Structure 1
Amino acid sequence: MDLATYSDKNWVNTFVDSTIPDICKEEPCVLGVDEAGRGPVLGPMVYGICFCPVSKHEDLKAAGVADSKTLSEEQREKIFSIMHENSDYIGWSLEVISPLNISNSMYKRPKVSLNEVSHNAAIGLIKRAIAAGVKVSEVYVDTVGPPEKYQVARDRALKKWEFPEGTEVDNWGSGYPGDAVTKNFLMNSIDRVFGFPGIVRFSWSTAEKIIDEKCVPVTWNDEDEEDEKDKTPSVLQFFARKHKSSDGGSAAPPPPKKRHHFFTERCLKSVESF
């Protein structure tokens, strides 16, 4: 599994694909979907698929495939080797989703949840296999199947992580918030102005708390609040048509309608030409 493309640009998402066996284009195939790295505060999340002909499904089970979370790293590497040796009928594809992409998605307006990121990754990989010619007839998501090499991919991506920020560190632990080594890494790698290096998921509450405690305070001005504070009348108001009151006199024009949240969340403004 060559992750050089991701290692060189670990701030963008990367696809890694095996060669598709000819038999997978000729016979109905079973396809499994799983992920690794959903919970950690550090590193990428990896979504992957693995597929083989339905006629070979039992052979794959006999190889010792199990849920990646029940296997050691050594066991995962061993099973991945078995899969590689049987590439004449086993194929796979994975997407390495960068920490920066996860953080940016969760900080978007409107927010893109981790569930939605996962949903899009899983569906995208299945469509990717079908577009490549795999005859998918059965799909298993988070169930018995061949998900272990996706954890292998995450292990390798973390081991070969390059820090474009120049950070020098040999061990950052498992990446999970409860890991003492990971906590120590977070506390010692933060910059008071720029925050964490790109390996950290800024949107995780663990990271946000440290940023609040250790970084320079930042005040974000809300556009709607600024609008409320600015009471200076627009020049256009002097030329607006006067509305008659019930007693025949002139009255101020009705207040402008509040914009729909669809526009405010996307920072969209009305554009007028004269």
Structure 2
Amino acid sequence: MVYGIAYCVSDYEKSLSKKGFDDSKKLTAEVRSDLLQEICTSDTELHANVGWAVRVMSARDISSGMLRPAGVGAYNLNAQAHDATMNLIDEVLKKGINVKEIFVDTVGTATTYQAKLQRRFPTTKVTVSKKADSLYPSVSVASICAKVTRDFALKESFNLASGGGEVPNTGSGYPGDPKSVAYLKGSMDTLFGWGCETRFSWSTTAELLKKDAEAVDWPDNDDEGNGDIGAFMSTSSAGNDVRYWFGKPATAAEL
């Protein structure tokens, strides 16, 4: 997953719509790429007026947080998304950018997320809403930057894995996308699942593994009578203590 941020002076935001920025899902990959290319080209109007940044989180990053041991506590996807967004905003503020308003596409409940961001950034006006990239041009810019980065990262990942072979059509990554489901079913190894491009903490992949993968039995060593290794290393009887298997150190009197 890739999270993006974009910023510009408030008077310029209306000009973004005229440049073609809209709900990123309505734009083709080629149009999104061309818009980001223009932002990155030094002698363009967009380059002079728009700043942007992204945070790339691999499937492995996300899964390692969501599948943490019970004693540590799971780091759920919404919390990871919130933290990624807040860290991006922090980086912009650290650069000395005078941020007056923040517009965010919601992750989870909009009112709860907005209150969380408002507490974190009390000197700015925060607005969190559904479909924000179709309502606020600056959010559309951020979404386009994130999607173009995501597409490039996926392409490079598959190129490295396949040695430059054809990049598969993975779809949008949403569980309702038949292209994504077809990719998962067609590329799944029945023992290992998928590569690092796939999030194992996703319910869609978990269901496919449960249904079609090889069943694996993980025996509990305690059931076989093996005790804690720590207890073995520190028995109460000196004769059985591994520290004395090869003799005891000489005392001062013995020397």
Q: Deviations over 1:139-182 (max 9, x none)?
A: 11122122322222222222332366658653233133334443
Residue 154 of structure 2 corresponds to 158
Tell me, which stretches of 5 or more residues in structure 2 are unaligned?
Answer: 106-131, 232-255
Check conservation: 1:163, 1:197, Cα contact below 8 A.
no
Residue 103 of structure 1 corresponds to 63
Check conservation: 1:173, 1:179, Cα contact below 8 A.
no
Check conservation: 2:158, 2:167, Cα contact below 8 A.
no
Task: Name which of 79, 97, 103 aligns with 2:35.
Answer: 79
Structure 2 CA distance for aligned equivalents of residues 130 and 50 of structure 1? 12
Residue 186 of structure 1 corresponds to 184
Check conservation: 1:173, 1:181, Cα contact below 8 A.
yes
Question: 1:164/1:87 Cα in 2 relative to 1: closer, same or farther (>3 Å)?
Answer: closer
Check conservation: 1:48, 1:95, Cα contact below 8 A.
yes
Structure 2 CA distance for aligned equivalents of residues 194 and 205 of structure 1? 16
Structure 1 CA distance for aligned equivalents of residues 32 and 162 of structure 2? 31
Any idea what SS the aligned residue of 2:47 has? coil
User: One-letter code of the match for 2:147?
Assistant: Q
Question: 1:181/1:61 Cα in 2 relative to 1: closer, same or farther (>3 Å)?
Answer: closer
Aligned length: 191
Identity of aligned residues (%): 32
Structure 2 CA distance for aligned equivalents of residues 164 and 80 of structure 1? 24
In proportion to residue count, which structure has more strand?
A: 1
Question: 1:184/1:59 Cα in 2 relative to 1: closer, same or farther (>3 Å)?
Answer: closer
Ranked by relative contact order (alpha carbons within 8 Å, sequence separation 6 or more), the top structure is 1
Structure 1 CA distance for aligned equivalents of residues 178 and 17 of structure 2? 36
Structure 2 CA distance for aligned equivalents of residues 92 and 171 of structure 1? 29
Structure 2 CA distance for aligned equivalents of residues 73 and 79 of structure 1? 10
TM-score (norm 1): 0.59
1:106-125 matches, cutoff 5 A:
106-109=66-69, 110-125=73-88
Aligned residues: CA RMSD? 3.2
1:1-274 matches, cutoff 5 A:
45-84=1-40, 85=44, 86-109=46-69, 110-142=73-105, 143=132, 144=136, 145=138, 146-147=141-142, 148-162=144-158, 170-174=167-171, 175-220=173-218
Structure 1 CA distance for aligned equivalents of residues 15 and 158 of structure 2? 38
Question: 1:187/1:79 Cα in 2 relative to 1: closer, same or farther (>3 Å)?
Answer: same
TM-score (norm 2): 0.63
Tell me, which stretches of 5 or more residues in structure 1 are unaligned?
Answer: 1-44, 235-274
Structure 2 CA distance for aligned equivalents of residues 166 and 77 of structure 1? 24
In proportion to residue count, which structure has more helix?
A: 2
Q: Deviations over 1:23-49 (max 9, x none)?
A: xxxxxxxxxxxxxxxxxxxxxx11011
User: One-letter code of the match for 2:169?
Assistant: W
